[in-house]
């Protein structure tokens, strides 16, 4: 059973900014070999992954896009999402469109510095239009550890149960 539904997001549509940086927590329930577009087949270990994305406009529609497992994958995240469960959605406090590209990479970098395991296969995934090492971060198998870490980050807000915290 997926945790998020378009209905629950619709309930907070007035609170979601038009543009911004978002963070998805995704779960692969088993070791998987996934086709990642032009990058070909990539092996991913079981566990939780963080993905940092940015929407210059229509942030709400972008979040809705991630709620459904895509039939026509476009970005790396779509290929990954097709096999992973969406466990969490977080937004950052930034809304200034001009600062977004840097803020996106900065957040990815910050999260990467806290993750214990670095998977070489994640390099450049989700970051084809910027110079940074990637917007996918592997966070191991402990969900409680991720959620308590993210909850303590004062620059992040959690979307849950039809509410934005």
Footprint on this chain of Zn ion (rule: CB under 5 A): 105, 127, 130, 132
52 near 26, Cβ under 8 Å?
no
d(CA 138, CA 46): 10
Tell me the closest approach of the beta carbon of residue 129 to Zn ion, in angstroms. 8
- Write the burial class of residue 14 (CB in 10 Å: 0-12 exposed, 13-18 middle, 19+ buried): exposed
Q: Which is nearer to Zn ion, 27 or 135 (CB)?
A: 135
Tell me the closest approach of the beta carbon of residue 154 to Zn ion, in angstroms. 22
Q: Which is nearer to Zn ion, 68 or 132 (CB)?
A: 132
Nearest to 86, CA basis, from 68, 59, 61: 68
Q: Which is nearer to Zn ion, 4 or 126 (CB)?
A: 126
Q: Which is nearer to Zn ion, 82 or 132 (CB)?
A: 132
CB atoms closer than 10 angstroms to residue 137: 28
Tell me the closest approach of the beta carbon of residue 105 to Zn ion, in angstroms. 3
Tell me the closest approach of the beta carbon of residue 132 to Zn ion, in angstroms. 3
Tell me the closest approach of the beta carbon of residue 108 to Zn ion, in angstroms. 6
36 near 99, Cβ under 8 Å?
no
145 near 121, Cβ under 8 Å?
no
Q: Which is nearer to Zn ion, 100 or 105 (CB)?
A: 105
45 near 118, Cβ under 8 Å?
no
Residues forming a β-bridge with 48 = 27
């Amino acid at each position: 059973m997926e945790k998020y539904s378009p209905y629950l997001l619709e309930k907070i549509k007035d609170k979601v900014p038009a543009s911004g940086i978002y963070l998805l927590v995704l779960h692969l329930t088993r070791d998987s070999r996934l086709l990642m577009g032009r990058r070909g087949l990539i092996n991913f270990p079981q566990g939780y992954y963080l993905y940092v994305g940015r929407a210059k406009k229509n942030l709400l529609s972008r979040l809705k896009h991630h709620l459904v497992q895509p039939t026509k994958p476009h970005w790396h995240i779509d290929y990954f999402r097709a096999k992973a469960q969406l466990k969490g959605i977080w937004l950052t406090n930034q809304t200034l469109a001009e600062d977004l590209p840097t803020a996106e990479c900065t957040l990815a970098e910050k999260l990467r510095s806290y993750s214990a395991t670095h998977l070489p296969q994640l390099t450049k995934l989700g970051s084809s239009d910027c110079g940074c090492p990637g917007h996918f971060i592997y966070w191991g198998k402990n969900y409680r550890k991720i959620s308590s870490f993210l909850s303590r980050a004062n620059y992040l807000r959690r979307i849950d149960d039809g509410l934005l915290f």
